[in-house]
A and B are shown apart, each in its own frame.
Chain A
Amino acid sequence: MSEVRFHGRGGQGVVTTSKILANAFARVGQFGASFPMFGFERRGAPVTAFGRFSDKPVREKTQIYNPDILVVLDPSQKASDLVFQGLLPESMLLLNDTDSTTRIKHENLKKFALINANKIALEEIGLAIPNTVIVGAFARMSGLLDIEPCCDALEDYFSGKKLSANIVCAKRGFEEVELFDL
């Protein structure tokens, strides 16, 4: 089982990212369970979400304290100690950042992935909502999913032009993410 922790802000689609991934895993006969933790829904407030992805049913209903994958949608949190709290050895980090020179190092990271998801989202959907780009980038970095089930999963959240634009976002995320072995 992979335990993924997502860090972002209200309005970035953090929760939707975790939902789409759970959906994609279900589409390939695996299991996903994801949930966010926040009080009231507020745009701009920090949001944490948790995703458990496995080939067996997921029964735990607790927050994730020892993730093996981190997904950071909000670059202002990239240096936060909270993000790295409890990180297991040999972990991965996917970061959304406008600065292509950013490199994150941490003793427990074996892989770092960087994507300018806001830029791609602006080009494709006209809004700086990075979530579907992140979905594609996650599939590529983790190697846990192909891009097809991710695109198929988008059908449950978007329709019409928004769907086709977000499919492009996911595919570009998959293709354009930069991977660094640490």
Chain B
Amino acid sequence: MITKAKEKTQIKVITGNAAAATAAKLACPDVVAAYPITPQTEIIEQISKFHANGEMDCELITVEGENSAMNAVTAASLAGGRVFTATSSWGLVFMYDAVLAAAGSRAPIVMVNVNRETPGIIAVSSGQQDMISTRDAGWIFLIAEDCQEVLDLVLQAYRLAEDYDIQVPVMVHYDGFYLSYLSEGVDVPFQEDVDTFLSVLKDQPQRTKLTPGEGLGCGSHGILGGYLELRHKHVSAMERSKEKFDQIDKEYEQIFGRAYGGQIEEYRMDDADVVLVGSGSMCGTIKTVIDEKREAGIKVGLLKMRMFRPFPGEVMVESLKGKKAIGVVDRSLNFGHKGGPFYTELKSFETKFEGSPMVSFIDGVANTDITTANVATMIDTICDLAAGKEVPEVTWVSYPEANDPDSAKVGGQ
């Protein structure tokens, strides 16, 4: 991240959740739908507080469940309002039908999803499995590394979702527990600067709105040609959102002095021989270990994915081309494939890497901690891969039992 010195700043020590709520407040939404769920509840508490003390002038709908929350913000969004909601895990899947309908309706919703394991094995623990369970919903997915980036991404998400050329809902993801409850210094922008940043949207053509009393088809029962046309337009808008996001990141820097790089952030990549690909809070830890490994003469870099939907394949290929080995770290599982979801998707670009071999690391699932020692192990493994040594395609870093080739042959549960 590039940070430029500014004349005035206001550093507040706040959690990732408070950063998300603060960003929502600064974006001045018309309608917020709120329902609590661990580890997101603090966002809703903060927004309720802002609303109660008059700092937030929005319609706050305290719904009876997440499904209603998504339906409420979809309707408000289609009526032309700026909207916000937040959820996690069970809440996200409980609103799944509405999440799909919101995307199909091209409602420019901004929602925060605090990543947590999904229902399945009952767990109150961190992991990106909830994100993966909704990846094909047709939303744009952005992922934050620290509390500052949570705030910055929520503001950038409004510019992306509501852009006339995009009009696709955006989900901002960050790791539950490791980031949702992390207190650290955040440079909180001033309202007038946020207003300036978002004012670009006012100068664009206005999107189609539902108006009471006026006849307008929305989310029409399209079949054949009509359906195909809408789907193709949706896919095309997602493709356009990649460059748009890069451009928004640059404009953000002009006003707030912080730039991350758009779709991806590169850390010590220029002269890197081997690379870890990661996302979210693990990237802070990876950067720390990279600095240590660099001291020892190992040329390792990080490619941080800030955007996961659409998949930023083109910029990743540019960044990874010619590297000697690549390790992709996934904080979720890809049922039906041995490697993680990010790994499997990146694998489809492998022929364009000019030979860089790739391996998959599964770690951070079910709240396991992606420790500095784990990251060092991953870097050692990709160094071995670069040196031509035999390395397993998939490594469960915190569960060595899984790495025994015989483990997959045992039946039973």
Contacts and interface: CB of A to CB of B under 8 A. Distances in A.
Contacts of B282: 61
Nearest to B370: A62
Instruction: Say which size band chain A's interface belongs to.
Output: 20 to 34
B38 interface: yes
A65 interface: yes
A32 B178 CA distance: 15
B287 interface: yes
B13 A60 contact: no
Interface string A151-165: 001001000000000
Main secondary structure of the interface of A (DSSP, over half): mixed
A60 B183 contact: no
A19 B183 contact: yes
A65 B371 CA distance: 9
A61 B372 contact: no
A138 interface: no
Contact of B182 (A26, A34, A41, A65): A34
Contacts of A34: 182-184
B152 interface: no
A156 B13 contact: yes
Interface residues of B, number: 28
A36 B39 CA distance: 12
A22 B370 contact: no
Contacts of B369: 62-63
A156 B181 CA distance: 16
Contacts of B12: 156
Nearest to B126: A37
- In the A-B complex, the 4 residue pairs with the closest CB atoms: A39-B124, A59-B284, A61-B281, A23-B13
Interface in A30-66: 31-37, 39-41, 58-63, 65
A35 B178 CA distance: 7
A132 interface: no
A128 to B, nearest CB: 24
Contacts of A62: 178, 285, 369-372
Interface in A1-44: 15, 18-19, 22-23, 26, 31-37, 39-41
B11 to A, nearest CB: 6
Interface in B368-393: 369-372
Interface of B: 11-13, 15, 38, 124-125, 145-146, 175, 177-179, 181-185, 281-282, 284-285, 287-288, 369-372
Contact of A33 (B11, B183, B287, B372): B183
Contacts of A31: 184-185
Contacts of A18: 183
Contacts of B281: 61
A26 B124 contact: no
A26 B13 contact: yes
Given A61-B146, A62-B371, A156-B13, 15 more contacts: A22-B183, A26-B13, A31-B185, A32-B13, A32-B183, A32-B185, A35-B183, A37-B177, A58-B184, A59-B287, A60-B372, A61-B178, A61-B179, A61-B282, A61-B284
B331 to A, nearest CB: 12
A61 B285 contact: yes
Contacts of B185: 22, 26, 31-32
A33 B281 CA distance: 13
B374 to A, nearest CB: 9
Nearest to A37: B177
Contacts of B38: 39-41
A40 B285 contact: no
A132 B288 CA distance: 32
Given A26-B185, A31-B185, A33-B182, A19 B13 contact: yes
A31 to B, nearest CB: 6
Contacts of A37: 177
A30 B146 CA distance: 17
A21 B381 CA distance: 38
Contacts of B371: 62-63, 65
B189 to A, nearest CB: 17
B181 A22 contact: no
25 contacts: A18-B183, A19-B183, A32-B183, A34-B183, A34-B184, A35-B15, A35-B177, A35-B178, A35-B183, A36-B181, A39-B38, A40-B38, A40-B124, A59-B285, A59-B287, A59-B288, A60-B288, A61-B146, A61-B178, A61-B370, A62-B285, A62-B370, A63-B369, A63-B371, A156-B13
